[in-house]
Amino acid sequence: MYKLYKLIMFGVILMTTETAIATSVQVEINGIDTKRPGHIMVMLFEENGFPIKHKSALQTQFHSPTAESLSVEFTTSKAEFAIKVLHDEDNSQTTSKNWTGIIPSEGLGFSNGAKISWRGPPKFKDAKLSLTDLASPISISVHYP
């Protein structure tokens, strides 16, 4: 009877525990302007903090803008995530704005083809990707003002 109890409890634990398996996510970034200074920031976010709070990113990579395209890899176990690419020309680790204080003055790109609109930056739901139906590599284009 004790063995049966242990077996049932083990089964319950397996069914209620979320199994997190890390998956490699390949990202192909295109449209980098190599004539501009600074570095390329590639950030992996969950919904919290996306896309403005860079310190909330789960992972951040920094790369030199030496070629028009760049391949990066993240490892994540998050079921849903979004990616932001920033060509940080002034190395401030924030998105700099033009004289209006509203429109970005640096190159930006987002996963899932999400774009900035007159209402502001894209929402997480527009940029999110799911590990279950992930096309590899993810392609992101950097757009400059």
Contact 82, 129 (CB under 8 A): yes
Q: What is the pLDDT of residue 70?
A: 97
Q: C-alpha distances in angstroms, 102 versus 9, 42, 60, 114?
A: 56, 22, 24, 18
pLDDT in tens, 56-112: 999 999 999 999 999 999 999 999 999 999 999 999 999 999 988 888 999 999 999
Q: Which residue bears the tokens 């929402």?
A: 123
The domains found in the chain, sorted by start residue, are: 21-141 (2.60.40)
Model confidence band, residue 132 (pLDDT cutoffs 50, 70, 90): confident
User: Using omega within 30 degrees of 0 as the cis cutoff, is the peptide bond preceding 137 cis?
Assistant: yes
Q: What are phi and psi of 123, to 5 degrees?
A: -80, 155
Structure-block tokens of residue 55 = 């310190």
Structure-block tokens of residue 47 = 């919904």
> How many CA atoms lie within 13 Å of 40's alpha carbon, on the beta-carbon side?
30
